[in-house]
Chain A
């Protein structure tokens, strides 16, 4: 199993954010939906060790996140909602190259990988542009490039389309379909999950529905009614 939660509880201060999550997620496309505060983002953060369980365990790529967070992060890319918080370097190409800083690659190899990933996601023409001058959609694509250049085995996305317009949301949806990696997406954008393999519905820290997008989203709509 690629991602496995075993009786995971997360308590932050006085609040139980996750209460006994048990799930094995071998599917290629997994969606997570739920109301604000239901524990979706915490669940996503558990996958690459940004958050740790208070009890229970999370196993990713065969490793326990509590003992191997740094190693797991090398195999798990994480895309946040706000791309501004992910941009570190001033220009587009430099920001993508920054991800490869500690890989010990030659300058030529770094340039080759950066050019390739920028072309794949439609940012080749912006390579030398200041990153903070890009539109919101382009910034999200840049953040995605900075992750994908590391060729992760798993990609976790926390509300990747929340700040995007319809056109850029559709672009992200199309990119998700083409990615060979396993992808887990936390979202309120329900159409994004239409062709996913599996969707989990969280409510007050518990999985209350788990199935195909049609089944799970139907349950979610009833829950929110």
Chain B
């Protein structure tokens, strides 16, 4: 889980202290740089730099691995596909690019509080005021979308357990219908709770 979904790693490192907006801008630049880097050796150097940044952030190996773990099978598939349809250099370069970009994005979220990320997004989105939109609501929408991931996952676990208890594990309908209903109920309750906290002014 990254910081938005709930596992921000508290710390006082240089990266933790850097403003969220600077980190997001640096992430965009770094990802552009990764696309422009061609030779595998240059990407390997970039890999060392990313590892050094993780060491600098002192977030721990487990947290670092948790960032790239979800894309490991995708990376393997990408490498094999590139190897089949291109060559070894392309396979290494493309795979490294994806893994490093994910690792960098993970590092930003591990070292940035969600509230700081929201505030930075709100500033970035401020031009939408001219279109009559509220940047606060947009950044809140994004934050709630990401916050919903563990909530829906927990609802899915409950539905699956209820299915098991009733012996209907293989029914897609018996899984999907209660999950959608409970997700909609949660959304309603969350909306009411937000109104009750005065966030609908």
Binding site for B on A (CB under 8 A): 48, 50, 70, 73-74, 77-78, 80, 82, 84-91, 94, 97-99, 101-102, 128, 130-133, 146-147, 150
Residues of B within 8 A of A70 (CB): 198, 200-201
Q: B113, A88: Cβ atoms under 8 Å?
A: no
A130 touches B201 (CB 8 A): no
Are B199's CB and A102's CB within 8 A?
A: yes
Question: Interface stretch among B36-44, B84-92, B97-105, B189-197?
Answer: B189-197
A147 to B199, CA, bound (A): 12
Of A50, A89, A98, the contact of B195 (CB 8 Å cutoff): A50
B196 touches A73 (CB 8 A): yes
Contact yes or no, A128 B147, CB < 8 A:
no
- For chain B, residues 106 to 133, give those with C-beta under 8 angstroms from any C-beta of chain A: 113-115
Contacts of A130 in B (CB 8 A): 1, 6-8
Nearest Cβ distance between residue B58 and chain A, in whole angstroms? 15
Q: Give Cα A87 to B193, complex, Å.
A: 9
User: Which chain B residues lie closer than 8 Å to A50 at the CB level?
Assistant: 192, 195-196
Q: Given that A85-B190, A91-B113, A94-B114 are contacting pairs, would A150 and B6 also be in contact in the complex, using a CB cutoff of 8 Å?
A: no
Give Cα A87 to B3, complex, Å.
15
Question: Considering the complex of A and B, which 7 residue pairs feature the smallest CB-CB distances, nearest first?
Answer: A85-B189, A130-B6, A78-B196, A90-B6, A86-B193, A128-B10, A94-B115
Write the nearest CB–CB distance from A225 to chain B, whole angstroms: 33
